Amino acid sequence: MELVRLNDYRTFMQDNAAAFIDRHHQEHLDSDALRERTVLHLVEAWEVPQFMAGRLADLAMSEPRGIPEIPPGSLRATVTTAFK
């Protein structure tokens, strides 16, 4: 039972880290700065222990996040295709 709660906590906090990264990744040219800011967010906003916040940030940053596909027929798809 404790292992399930621990996994739920880890997953929840990792999801919070990923959401923070998604919201703020364009503000950072350096992934180290984004990682540090994510760790700080987890520690201050969610009271995650420092050692765990670093690991959760690393996991969240290593997860592949999908790039939204361009719908066929959209203006962007037309322009992108025209310049290939």
pLDDT tens readout for residues 3-50 = 668 789 999 999 999 999 999 988 987 889 999 999 999 999 999 999
Full-model pTM: 0.68
Please tell me which residue, 70 or 54, carries the higher pLDDT value: 54
Residue with tokens 């940053």: 61
Q: How many domains does the chain have?
A: 1
Q: How confident is the model at residue 65 (pLDDT cuts 50, 70, 90)?
A: low
Residue with tokens 């959760």: 56
Domain coverage including residue 58: 2-82
